[in-house]
Structure 1
Amino acid sequence: MPLNIVFMGTPDFSVPVLDAIASAGNRVVAVYSQPPRPAGRGMAEVKSPVQRRAEALGIEVRTPVNFKSDGDREAFAALNADVAVVVAYGLLLPKPVLDAPRLGSFNVHASKLPRWRGAAPIQRAIMAGDTVTAVNIMRMEQGLDTGPVCLGRDVPIPRSMTAGELHDELSKLGAALMVEALAKIEAGEIDCVPQPAEGATYAAKIGKSETRIDFSRPADDVINHIRGLSPYPGAWFEITIGGKAERIRVLTATAAEGTAEAGTLIDDNLTIACGTGAIRVERLQRAGKQPMAAADFLRGTRLAAGLRLAC
């Protein structure tokens, strides 16, 4: 018999999971998402990707600010759900909400737990230079991503992969794994194993202060930093163009040859010296412009060897 499911999610990462659950024949009785937020130059309220997709599927959407009120908790419990599926919802759920579904609440988490618990596991894995990550299906408890793991698949991280590319791969895999997990839950065959006590790390939300590129670091670290923040929020350096300071977001870069003081352009092709080694910028984005190849940027903006960028 199909399960009655409450789906809780907000960003693009969550949408393939919602689609997969609905396509598998489960009954999604309601979707919870973060409330619309002001965005853009006009600061008009924008619905989340999950809310837009749920409305297109004809599913009721609820957007409480939190679950502190008894009314919101009671409304959730009144859905009489068998399972809650939580995918990057954006709120820590209180115990009465986690315990309300008959068979429990389950989360798609984009890391190899217990490594990278928290808000930014994809970015943190790449920024740290990890070569393997995973998607885990976890039975939720009150701790932050501390619940037992029910299903998981390892995913290699190639040296050239960006956070955006890994995001898309993990989202698709998470959707498939959640459908598999729901079938096991329905059959009473789900087996969840406690996470190891050792090896836990915390994937803090990316702060604005972290996005500026520090060329005093080794080249490998700089490349990982760029990959981990590409395409959003974007790692950047600042140069002066036409007498005006401008931020240049670096989307991809590779290791290069050459030595100089950190932050110095080694040649005319955007090869930049780091604390050790050097990087060559391949793709970038100017403020308000579309991404472009570094070679195209340099056709219109000459940056001569010897120019020093702020570290």
Structure 2
Amino acid sequence: MVRVLFAGTPEAAVPSLRKLAHDTEHFDVVAVLTRPDAPAGRGRKLMPSPVKQAALELGLPVMECDPSEETFLAALKATGAEAGAVVAYGRLLKEPVLDALPLGWYNLHFSLLPQWRGAAPVQRAIWAGESLTGASVFRIIKGMDEGPVLAQSTVEIGAHENAGELLERLAQDGANLLAASLQGMAEGQIQPVEQPQGAYEVAAKITHDDARMHFNVPAFALDRQIRACTPNPGAWCQLHEAADALEPIQLHVAKAVVAGADDESAPHGLKPGELKVTKHHVWVGTATDALELLVVKAQGKKQMGAAEWARGAHLTEGAFCD
């Protein structure tokens, strides 16, 4: 049995924590390291991370200290952990910490390393139009996501799948991969393989500004952007509710679809950003085909179907997005 310290923060890390905690034949989760409670919601009330909530439900001790603090090493050693399992923890671990556990630290990363090292591998894979991605378990070293790989699994990216949906699938599959990798490592059945050298795409975090939509690009590019940015930070544009409107509002697009060649309801010849609204459809022009907006959230409003939103918004003939 391996004594494991688990480190993670968001919902995507919870399946792995539960998998390790429930597998008492092979693992003893001695403590859970997560980020401190953070303000959330409109009231900005301090809320525990999803991992902390799950740890408390499982009856596991929780650590919220900063690994860069001098006191952390003593606290880490006091847990008796032999190995560290990390899933989207959100903090870098320095060499003294990495060297403190006899079996080392292991990270579950949601890409097929060495491609898409970094903070947003799932989002970047979708935005790049890739059809395959996966999960990797590797030993953590000083370089970002550069350690030797223990195991990988591959999944297809659905044609209309957004980042949240894909991450949920990967989190479930990855939990099994992480547990099997740690068990194989502890039993000497896995020999980690060094990652190949070369230039690979880095999965930089997607900012609010990155998520802004511009319509002078092909419709397929906008479709990828919307799916990559959903649910966070959310693809958005400026909506001018009338041709002479002085103040645009922000419009988030949570779901859209590119007009098919055989879609008789789709308008043709729309200029980039030009809106066409019917009883059941909301279309916007791009550099190629029209893009049908399916789910939107206007500034100050709740998320809803685009056609329902348009009926209440009373858009004029000259309404457009940019």
TM bin (shorter chain): over 0.9
Match of residue 60 from structure 1: 61
Q: Indicate the larger mover: 17-26 or 72-81.
A: 72-81
- Partner SS, residue 151 of structure 1: strand
User: 1:218-266 CA deviation, whole Å, 9 max, x = no partner?
Assistant: 1111110000011222101222559764322111111125233211124
1:224 to 2:224 alignment: yes
- Structure 1 gaps of 5+ residues are none
Deviation, structure 1 residue 127: 1.1
Where do 5+ consecutive residues of structure 2 fail to align? Answer: 260-265
Aligned to 1:47: 48
Q: Which residue of 2 aligns with 1:259?
A: 269
Matched, 1:104 2:116: no
Structure 1 position 308, deviation (Å)? 2.3
Structure 2 residue matching 1:175: 3-state secondary structure: helix
CA distance in 2, matches of 1:306, 1:288: 22
SS in structure 2 opposite 1:8?
Answer: strand
TM-score after normalising by structure 2: 0.90
- Tell me, in whole angstroms, the C-alpha distance in 2 between the residues paired with 1:190 and 1:99: 20
Structure-1 separation of matches of 2:171 and 2:301: 28
Deviation, 1:41, is 2.7
Whether the 8 Å CA contact 1:236–1:250 is kept in 2: the answer is: yes
Q: What is the aligned residue count? A: 308
Secondary structure of 2:213's counterpart equals coil
Give 1:80 shift. 2.6
| Change in CA separation of 1:168 and 1:38 when aligned onto 2, cut-off 3 Å | same
Aligned amino acid, residue 255 of structure 2 = T
Distance in 2 (alpha carbons) for counterparts of 1:150 and 1:290:
44
Matches for 1:68-217 after TM superposition, within 5 Å: 68-217=68-217
**Closer/same/farther in 2, CA of residues 23 and 126 from structure 1, 3 Å limit:** same
Q: CA RMSD in A?
A: 1.8
**Would the aligned equivalents of 2:30 and 2:80 in 1 still touch at CA under 8 Å?**
no
Report the Cα distance in structure 2 between the residues aligned to 1:287 and 1:170, rounded to whole angstroms. Answer: 32
Q: Which residue is 1:277 aligned to?
A: 289
- 1:7 maps to what in 2? 6
Aligned to 2:262: none
Shift of 1:129: 1.1
State the distance in 2 between where 1:52 and 1:287 align.
31
* Paired residues of 1:8 and 1:32 also in contact (CA < 8 A): yes
d(CA) in 1 for partners of 2:150, 2:160: 30
**Percent identity between the two aligned chains:** 37
Q: CA 1:51/1:252 → structure 2, altered by over 3 Å: closer, same or farther? A: same
CA distance in 1, matches of 2:168, 2:252: 21
Q: Tell me, in whole angstroms, the C-alpha distance in 2 between the residues paired with 1:263 and 1:289.
A: 21
Tell me the distance in 2 between the aligned counterparts of 1:42 and 1:172.
31
Using structure 1 for the length normalisation, give the TM-score.
0.93
User: CA–CA distance in 2 between the matches of 1:98 and 1:236?
Assistant: 40
